[in-house]
Chain A
């Protein structure tokens, strides 16, 4: 049991998770400290048992970092039961309501089961050889990737050994300040050490590997081509040699605006991991129902009265990000004594039923002043624009009636406030508005009015042009930018309003999410894919442009049937086999995705 004495906690995630007052977290520094609560301590000890690697700098730094928190905690524990009830209110709900069991996870059951099975197989039958011991879990932010791994580990009674990217301390900062660049590499060094240590340790101690799961929640930062190559290499080595079940978590970026080169380089890493034989599982955004269930549970426990309609709104606005949903709920329940007036009525509920906007209840003021999903608050405004309600006759003879328009340019007055005002109330950003209008407007134009479709399309394309010109240039002032954006969005909205001279009469319509967003995303992916191929093929020295690659090279390559990865023939085979064994093929995902509980956001 000598190993247990030398416990080094590379992870202290447990600390981050549950701030229980009766926990003596010093136990992790030295196990000889008497445990306050034997039951908890036992559990912790088991969970904590991680690796008997000699204390390294990184882990010491880590421990040091947490000393402060521990002290805090100890203080709280000291304050004991009096403070506890009060302190309860001062937590973030995302921390306070961390899932405590597998059932509480808001992740799709099958997905959890799948991941659990994967780890269980590897942990329960250590003698058996598996093709792959690395599982890449990728998915958008806040869908419960980390929570799932944590829960599964504790469910299986396995210790988590977590890599955490250290942030250099100020001393190091000082030392290295002059020669920048070293810091990043040093992190990489540490990562390499970490990987090396875990490998060595695991191969030395055959029996205890059954109780450890390795978790890499944060891929370390790589800076520049060289460091990146090292990281990639290091990860490949890890994939190919580790015998400890390992989870690597990767955050996907759905939004193209923030998806920069980082996201691309991470995608590339994932590909290279897969080619080295790692299994991959994709986490979808959390379903609406799961989010609602979780939110309702929290509401019950917090005893705050939030209506089902409000929960529904919050859940929808979160875009499948449960962490954000919970945070929003916490913010939302900060109601002053008078309750939030606008969307609490049933009208708002109906308005957002099943992502379908009831365009007939246009008078409900349902713009949501919070939530990650900006587009939701737009639906209301979009409904107005698409529906295009007008007075039946020109009642008021205003100033401009002195000026006679041709028949075809005449329109009846709009039954709404100025479009610009409606937009600003809905917090409408130009780009999404234009995209949404473009996606949906045809549903509202009569089949026989092809001229209207033409008019609308030409205005939309002009708006698009105006927007395109504002994209990319970064030097422009906020002011100039905002004028361009508002002209573009005005042209689009007013073009739709004016162009559709005889809109279809009221009925239910679902507003669809712009398909172009998907297309753009996959186009970016493809481009990136090609760039990579070009890079590997020419060793980075190529100047052939992408359209050549797309038009000619790719077809030839396809025709030749060659693989994109130079050294991939063997490992690729490995890869697919591993997948088959684990039932984590893409087909598996597809058939799951078609299940009715899954919706795409």
Chain B
């Protein structure tokens, strides 16, 4: 959502900051020190083993792979790297052939260098191309084992010239014969400090006027996802030319966390009516129930309240979220949630 607004709001066709500030070197990647330090060694010494990078979105998996490939292959990048991702929808056979043709292709590389095949969003990739895509479900059986054969065989046969790097959200979605041939590198969400560090670099280079609370808001909306953070920052800047809380939440189309926090506070203090009117305001501003409840969940997670209450609140929020996902995303649903939270509080309260 944020990414689309970033490109449309700006009039002078800026390149998205996620691309502009995509680190070109492995050493510029923030967070996940252990993984990055090892990738650095690979970038220096070559001989990349087959890799699966798995972790939540926007933590630098794709960036790491691309940077690594660039550092490894330098000027040969265009020749010696094959990038494939899930949006490559030209059909499974073309993709498989591409992989094979590429693996067979002769490229003169310095000794110790290998060609690299990058499969981005590999879990979705397997799902769409080799797995249970609804349209292709007639070919279901052949797809998965076809992928298996194409990939695991290619991995083995060409391992002296070609290596694979896969990026995915969950490694368990990747078929086992392939997992078995790869080292698995896990990425975790970036911490707020790590994101802040990167944002500061961008803010300074782009000369973005900001106040600290604004960046805080950007970090809140990003929830450990650097891509989201950069997109939201850029969107706010191009929309309002100034990064403060209000602008960030306006641009990101997310309910203001303070507002939501107040709702929770009202519930905890027993002011059900106030909580409800807060909710009504949000709802009337046009925020969707999913947006509201997603923010609500994150507020509850970080709110300082009794252990029992937090547990109950999370549980009820979870159920409400589930029902909303199932299509019952009404105002009434959200009011009901507030009522449930109030009941939980009443039950727990000492008389």
Residues of A within 8 A of B (CB): 16, 19, 65-66, 68-69, 71-72, 83, 86-87, 89-95, 140-142, 164-165, 167-170, 173, 177, 180, 183-184, 218-219, 221-224, 228, 251, 253-255, 257-258, 260-262, 265-266, 321, 323-324, 327-328, 330-332, 334-336, 340, 369-372, 374, 377, 398-400, 403-407, 409-411, 414, 418, 420, 424-425, 427, 429, 459, 462, 466, 469-470, 474, 476, 478-480, 482-484, 486-488, 490-491, 494-495, 497-498
B residues near A164, Cβ cutoff 8 Å:
153
Chain A CB count within 10 A is highest, among B49, B50, B132, B153, for: B49
Residues of B within 8 A of A (CB): 32, 34-35, 37-38, 40-42, 45-47, 49-51, 55-57, 93-94, 96-97, 100-101, 104, 106, 111-112, 114, 127, 131-132, 138-142, 144-146, 148-150, 153, 156-161, 169-177, 179-186, 188-189, 268, 290, 293-294, 297, 301, 304-311, 314-315, 317-319, 321-322, 325-326, 348-351
Interface pair B38/A409, CB less than 8 Å apart:
no
A residues near B293, Cβ cutoff 8 Å:
483
Q: Given A170-B101, A223-B142, A321-B180, are A69 and B42 also a contact pair (CB < 8 Å)?
A: no
Interface pair B180/A141, CB less than 8 Å apart:
yes
Interface pair B153/A165, CB less than 8 Å apart:
yes
Interface pair B179/A372, CB less than 8 Å apart:
yes
> What is the bound-complex CA distance between A30 and B305, given in angstroms?
79
Interface pair B180/A260, CB less than 8 Å apart:
no
Interface pair A487/B349, CB less than 8 Å apart:
no
A residues near B314, Cβ cutoff 8 Å:
487, 490-491, 494
Interface pair B308/A498, CB less than 8 Å apart:
yes
> What is the bound-complex CA distance between A266 and B294, given in angstroms?
42
B residues near A253, Cβ cutoff 8 Å:
175-176
Interface pair B106/A265, CB less than 8 Å apart:
no
Interface pair A370/B153, CB less than 8 Å apart:
no
Main SS class of interface, B = helix
Q: Given A167-B96, A372-B179, A411-B308, are A403 and B349 also a contact pair (CB < 8 Å)?
A: yes
A residues near B170, Cβ cutoff 8 Å:
429
Contact of B49 among A86, A327, A410, A494 (CB under 8 A): A327
B residues near A335, Cβ cutoff 8 Å:
37-38, 41
B residues near A470, Cβ cutoff 8 Å:
322
Interface pair B321/A487, CB less than 8 Å apart:
yes
> What is the bound-complex CA distance between A140 and B314, given in angstroms?
39
Least CB distance, B192 to chain A, in whole angstroms: 12
Q: How many A-B residue pairs have CB under 8 A?
A: 266
> What is the bound-complex CA distance between A83 and B111, given in angstroms?
9
B residues near A403, Cβ cutoff 8 Å:
268, 306, 349
Contact of B315 among A173, A330, A459 (CB under 8 A): A459
> What is the bound-complex CA distance between A410 and B305, given in angstroms?
12
Contact of B47 among A90, A222, A257 (CB under 8 A): A90
> What is the bound-complex CA distance between A258 and B308, given in angstroms?
37
Interface pair A89/B112, CB less than 8 Å apart:
yes
Instruction: Name 13 extra pairs, CB < 8 A, besides A257-B172, A462-B319.
Output: A65-B157, A72-B161, A90-B114, A173-B93, A334-B38, A370-B184, A372-B171, A372-B179, A400-B309, A414-B307, A469-B322, A491-B314, A491-B315
> What is the bound-complex CA distance between A249 and B319, given in angstroms?
46
> What is the bound-complex CA distance between A409 and B305, given in angstroms?
12
Between-chain CB contacts (< 8 Å), 15 pairs? A68-B104, A90-B114, A94-B181, A141-B180, A168-B97, A221-B146, A260-B140, A266-B145, A370-B183, A400-B305, A406-B348, A424-B188, A427-B186, A483-B297, A498-B307
B residues near A334, Cβ cutoff 8 Å:
38, 41-42, 45
Contact of B93 among A183, A255, A331, A420 (CB under 8 A): A183
> What is the bound-complex CA distance between A554 and B269, given in angstroms?
60
Interface pair A411/B307, CB less than 8 Å apart:
yes
Interface pair B306/A331, CB less than 8 Å apart:
no
Interface pair B311/A459, CB less than 8 Å apart:
yes
Q: Given A165-B153, A260-B140, A334-B42, are A429 and B311 also a contact pair (CB < 8 Å)?
A: no
A residues near B106, Cβ cutoff 8 Å:
68, 71
A residues near B290, Cβ cutoff 8 Å:
480
Closest to A494 in B: B311
Interface pair B157/A69, CB less than 8 Å apart:
yes
Interface pair B111/A466, CB less than 8 Å apart:
no
> What is the bound-complex CA distance between A428 and B153, given in angstroms?
31
A residues near B181, Cβ cutoff 8 Å:
94, 142, 323-324, 327
B residues near A92, Cβ cutoff 8 Å:
49-50, 159
Contact of A484 among B42, B45, B153, B318 (CB under 8 A): B318
A residues near B186, Cβ cutoff 8 Å:
369-370, 377, 427
Interface pair B40/A484, CB less than 8 Å apart:
no
Least CB distance, B104 to chain A, in whole angstroms: 5
